[in-house]
Structure 1
Amino acid sequence: MTGASPRGTPGALGAALHGRFLHGLAVAPRRTAVRGPGWSLSYEALHERALTWAGALLRAAGHRPAAVAVLAAKGPHAYAGVLAALYAGAAVVPLSTGFPAARTRHMLEAAGVSAVIADAAGRAVLAGVPGPAPGVPVLAPDEVRAGSVPVDAAHALGEPLPAAAGDTAYVLFTSGSTGRPKGVRISHGSTAHYFHVLDARYDFGPQDVFSQIFDLNFDCAMFDLFCAWGAGATVQQVPAAAFRDVPAFAAEAGLTVWFSTPSTVSLVRRTAGLGAGSLSGLRWSIFAGEALKCADAADWQRAAPTSTVENLYGPTELTITICGYEWSPETTPGLAVHGIVPIGAVHKGHDHLLIDEDCEPVSGEGELVVTGPQMTSGYLDPADHRGRFVTHDGRTWYRTGDRVREVADGVLAYVDRLDAQVQVQGWRVEPAEIDQALCACAGVEEAVTVAVPAAGGDLELVAFYTGSPTPAAQLARGLRDVLPERLVPRRYAHLAAFPLNANRKIDRGALRARAAAPPGPARAAAVPARTAPPAPRGR
């Protein structure tokens, strides 16, 4: 580090997540911390901005805020907002400007948000929130307006507030089977353990440039930000337009660390971006959020021959990822189950079990349950705990809902889901939430949503319903009022009645088979292509 020491960089903040940024600040104060199309912020500039905004938040609240929402499109306001919320000693609640207003309202209330940092897009969402105003102060960095939190550098914090290991670092929302999103609390202690594991696993340094593809309300974005910032590296926002020619973008940006969902491999392949050596600048190629196919890993390795390809696995409740596996063209195919790259070994410091349907430990294959420092401190609503945790040997374990198989000593492979939950472009989707929203549409009596493979190997949501036949576009419009775009099915099929299995339950297997059938008179009607989701961004 050269020059004067930046303001507010104590030697350590204990377990605080934002202590990782302070480490990067100390290592590389004048290097770029984060950049995107047409903008860039150095570590020093981002630090000063976060201190100023944190001071404004504390003055507006009159006390240390419990939770601060960041409602902004990916850009300088969003990244600075995440850091400012942490500096103010609050739990950061990243929200998407693409979500319906009613859903946003629910998340603001469920998280007990004390203040909101919002750009123009975020303020437009807040303006459309139904019912009474949320009643929380709004910090609008790009606009001075009546009622907004005043931002004055004279009141900036001298240094970030500390955080205890048990304090909540962030709250993220996942799709919920009850028809509403579930808020997951992750503590500073959990993130401290997680990044300690990653620091030992990877050799990231100030010279690295990380891709930043995931939306900030997807926990994998925390990997991007705090792996990079903990090393003094640069975070490079990847705009949707970059997927037209990923090799050219990667070369121009100097990307050395790639992190995305496996769906991106198919997308890059379709744009002829996986030619031999086309991604030769990458040192690390990391995938998470969905099952990684061996064929996709092999194609990506050929395109990025000098990079290490890794498959990471983990639900939000276990702090971003809880397992990791390094791809090997020689040994991995022999360990793969159904052509899927193994998920690897559970992180050190944790215990895991495989259990049967009676929650009894089994060997070889079963549902994966994990306990340890990365496990969530709980959902915002205690009612959501039901069915997600199990007690064994006097300890609480998180049930992943994933069936896994031990394929080598300590090496696990994903087999399938035990419930109806699916991963769509990295988003964890509870079809029951879609079903409930569909049943609220005019004319719909019952609804069942299934996921089937689509072109390129991705999963596609298909909705079946009973009641009055309704145009697919009309149903999709109704769902967009209450669901994020990625939860809106692309195809719809009206049935006089649902098929039943021998137990007189809805035969989801039969519905999946029908959804996967080739085009024909019985195929579900599709919504016009313009409604398809954009390039994969996150959950």
Structure 2
Amino acid sequence: MFEEQVGRTPDSLAVECDGEALTYGQLDAYANVVAERLTAAGVGPDDVVALIVPRSVEWVVGMLAAWKAGAAYGPIDPSYPQDRIEAIIADTGARCAVSTTTLDLAVDVIVLDNIMRDSPMVERPTDRWRELGAGDRLGYVISTSGSTGRPKPTLVPMAGIENTVAWYRSELPETGGLLIASSPSFDLTQKNVWAALSSGRSVVLAPDGFDPDAIVARVGHGDVAVANMSPSAFEAVVDSDEDSALSVLDVVFLGGESIRLNRLGSLLSGGVRVVNSYGPTEASDVVSFHAVTAHDTVSVPIGAPVPNMDLFVLDRSLGMVPPGVIGELYVGGVGVGRGYGNRAALTAERFVANPFAGGERGASDGGSRLYRTGDLVRWNGRGELEYIGRSDFQVKLRGQRIELGEIESALISHEAVSDAVVVLHSDATFGDSLVGYVVGTAVDASEVLESARAVLPTYMVPSKVLVLDELPLNASGKLDRKALPSPVFEAAEFRAPVTAVQEIVASVFGDVLGVERVGLDDDFFALGGNSLIATRVAARLGQALDAQV
């Protein structure tokens, strides 16, 4: 489809980034040069080409070249530590790497800048890919974070990519460029490139990094019609849009996190279409979508399935649960990937036999396998899915099972709070405790805690709330929980105990909490205490005062 577009509009803008641009004809010619170099290096069908290139026109050249050579590509963010890059290359079994700079790796590295500068452009299409059928041919490999701390390579087939792109194109306006501000290694990034290049649109790449002001300024030029980001990243862009430049967009696709309608500013009322898209890398990126409407006053559903994809809400026995009942989401259909490279046990755990193969309950073609997402959902009365949370985001604290999302919702309900996240923090002295992080305007942490105590049982109230200027994001624009600061438990301004009982209480608090000095105004919980530690305090006070506490 791309090469057909080259034949129709060779002089149309194909890709631009930070002042650098290529037409469809130029992009095709450069990609042919690199594809020939890859073929000469022995790259062929089902091989993986590691693409270690920042968001740039060269990155798009590398993507096309890998496919023209009949191979798959594996995007790797160049900002990753060297050890992580090497681990991903080893796990994907990459035949070679493509980069814009010389890298010291265990595989051959093809430097794009040298080829594009020194080699004559080749206008004759490279036909290696024509020898291959699409079907289950490997398209790209996204290495996602693993629960073991080792990235796992997710194998995405060409058939799934084609299905996702076909759906995406059907939801796009007739004209206008697609803005890409996410990492090259993020799954949502891929469909934007291919949807644009297969339909004659331009790929507009924001400069490498994440600069909301620069993104707003680029949208303000007026030739961008579509933006696709995670909600966290887009909220930062909305906050920078002082002159309503984003109102020129036709549609904004958000995905990867829950959408907070109150953070979208005046976009909805201004006529910009907002679509919530949901899907895992393991199922070719998007499996369901929902266009935001006036009915979405509290939360936004993740919607109904895209064509040729099947969504099942199942219990632990893989039985279907009724509408309104929470279950785990399983995905079937043409987009289900091959599994994880070099992870046979994990593949068997997450990709399971499809008990509904053969078309039961509206399945498109059944398919032999389902992908187990780990996401908890339920069908609503309109036949759409509502996202509840991660099954693995449930924590157990002092015998109580807790969904962190429920606490986050309580914190966000405070009028001064615009964003919040809660984590289970482990401390050598105090053990496990809940810590909340909030963002907002003139936020008072004590007021937020008091508000939470009004709606949550005691065991779900965070031990501490930290006020941040913004929540940290990773390269994919999602919340980076590991970058959240550790809490520091501090004493209030000191007022010395006066009576004998006050002195005993202060001494016991200090001993149990490991605090050198405790005063009259110090809060037990602000110093790191929790309900479990409180039982030790009660016992110690009872002994010291010869009383039952």
TM-score normalised according to structure 2 size: 0.69
Counterpart of 1:250 in structure 2 is: 219
Match of 1:354 among 302, 306, 313: 313
Q: Name whichever of 451-460 and 402-411 sits farther off.
A: 451-460
Matched, 1:212 2:196: no
Where does the alignment leave 5 or more consecutive residues of structure 2 unmatched? 358-367, 396-403, 432-473, 490-522, 530-549
Task: Work out the percentage of aligned pairs sharing the same amino acid.
Answer: 23
Q: 1:167 to 1:228 in 2, by over 3 A?
A: same
Paired residues, number: 418
Counterpart of 1:294 in structure 2 is: 261
Supply the distance in 1 between the matched residues of 2:190 and 2:43 (Cα, whole angstroms).
Answer: 28
Matched, 1:372 2:372: no
Match of 1:189 among 141, 159, 163: 159
Q: Which amino acid aligns with 1:344?
A: G
Q: Residues 68-87 of structure 1: matches in 2 within 5 Å? A: 68-87=49-68
Deviation at 1:485, TM superposition (A): 11
Please tell me whether the aligned partners of residues 461 and 491 of structure 1 are also in contact (alpha carbons under 8 angstroms). no
Match of 2:111 among 117, 140, 164: 140
Larger Rg: 2
Q: Residues 78-477 of structure 1: matches in 2 within 5 Å? A: 78-120=59-101, 123=102, 126-127=103-104, 133-134=105-106, 136-143=107-114, 153=121, 158-159=126-127, 161-162=129-130, 163-164=132-133, 165-199=135-169, 201-205=170-174, 207-239=175-207, 240=209, 242-244=211-213, 246-252=215-221, 254-271=223-240, 273=241, 277-297=244-264, 299-302=266-269, 305-329=270-294, 331-333=295-297, 339-364=298-323, 365=325, 366-380=327-341, 381-391=343-353, 392-393=355-356, 395-420=368-393, 456-457=418-419, 459=421, 464-466=426-428
Please tell me whether the aligned partners of residues 461 and 488 of structure 1 are also in contact (alpha carbons under 8 angstroms). no
Deviation at 1:76, TM superposition (A): 2.1
Please tell me whether the aligned partners of residues 52 and 157 of structure 1 are also in contact (alpha carbons under 8 angstroms). no
Q: 1:94 to 1:253 in 2, by over 3 A?
A: farther
Q: What SS does the corresponding residue of 1:104 show, helix, strand or coil?
A: helix
Deviation at 1:174, TM superposition (A): 1.0
Deviation at 1:493, TM superposition (A): 5.4
Q: Which amino acid aligns with 1:117?
A: V
Q: What SS does the corresponding residue of 1:225 show, helix, strand or coil?
A: helix
Deviation at 1:356, TM superposition (A): 1.6
Supply the distance in 1 between the matched residues of 2:217 and 2:157 (Cα, whole angstroms).
Answer: 38
Please tell me whether the aligned partners of residues 33 and 46 of structure 1 are also in contact (alpha carbons under 8 angstroms). yes
Q: 1:263 to 1:203 in 2, by over 3 A?
A: closer
Matched, 1:53 2:34: yes
Q: 1:159 to 1:274 in 2, by over 3 A?
A: farther
Supply the distance in 2 between the matched residues of 1:321 and 1:266 (Cα, whole angstroms).
Answer: 21
Please tell me whether the aligned partners of residues 310 and 324 of structure 1 are also in contact (alpha carbons under 8 angstroms). yes
Supply the distance in 2 between the matched residues of 1:292 and 1:152 (Cα, whole angstroms).
Answer: 47
Counterpart of 2:445 in structure 1 is: none
Q: Which amino acid aligns with 1:346?
A: P
Q: Which amino acid aligns with 2:379?
A: E
Q: What SS does the corresponding residue of 2:146 show, helix, strand or coil?
A: coil
Superimposed CA distance per residue, residues 338-371 of structure 1 (whole angstroms, 9 cap, x where no aligned partner): x321111012223222112333221123111121
Supply the distance in 2 between the matched residues of 1:33 and 1:462 (Cα, whole angstroms).
Answer: 46
Q: 1:321 to 1:154 in 2, by over 3 A?
A: closer
Deviation at 1:486, TM superposition (A): 4.2
Supply the distance in 2 between the matched residues of 1:166 and 1:195 (Cα, whole angstroms).
Answer: 16
Match of 2:16 among 35, 49, 53: 35
- Give 4+ residue runs of structure 1 displaced > 6 Å after superposition: none
Please tell me whether the aligned partners of residues 43 and 95 of structure 2 are also in contact (alpha carbons under 8 angstroms). no
TM-score normalised according to structure 1 size: 0.70
Please tell me whether the aligned partners of residues 28 and 123 of structure 2 are also in contact (alpha carbons under 8 angstroms). no
Q: 1:241 to 1:311 in 2, by over 3 A?
A: closer
Supply the distance in 2 between the matched residues of 1:274 and 1:161 (Cα, whole angstroms).
Answer: 47
Where does the alignment leave 5 or more consecutive residues of structure 1 unmatched? 1-18, 128-132, 145-149, 334-338, 423-449, 470-479, 496-516, 524-539
Counterpart of 1:528 in structure 2 is: none
Please tell me whether the aligned partners of residues 164 and 191 of structure 2 are also in contact (alpha carbons under 8 angstroms). no
Superimposed CA distance per residue, residues 53-73 of structure 1 (whole angstroms, 9 cap, x where no aligned partner): 000111122755711011011
Deviation at 1:26, TM superposition (A): 3.5
CA RMSD of aligned residues (A): 3.5
Q: What SS does the corresponding residue of 1:279 show, helix, strand or coil?
A: helix
Supply the distance in 1 between the matched residues of 2:55 and 2:182 (Cα, whole angstroms).
Answer: 10
Deviation at 1:157, TM superposition (A): 5.5
Deviation at 1:141, TM superposition (A): 2.1
Deviation at 1:102, TM superposition (A): 1.2
Relative contact order (alpha carbons < 8 A, sep ≥ 6): 1 or 2 greater? Answer: 1
Supply the distance in 1 between the matched residues of 2:371 and 2:43 (Cα, whole angstroms).
Answer: 37
Supply the distance in 1 between the matched residues of 2:424 and 2:119 (Cα, whole angstroms).
Answer: 47
Deviation at 1:101, TM superposition (A): 1.1
Q: 1:182 to 1:521 in 2, by over 3 A?
A: same
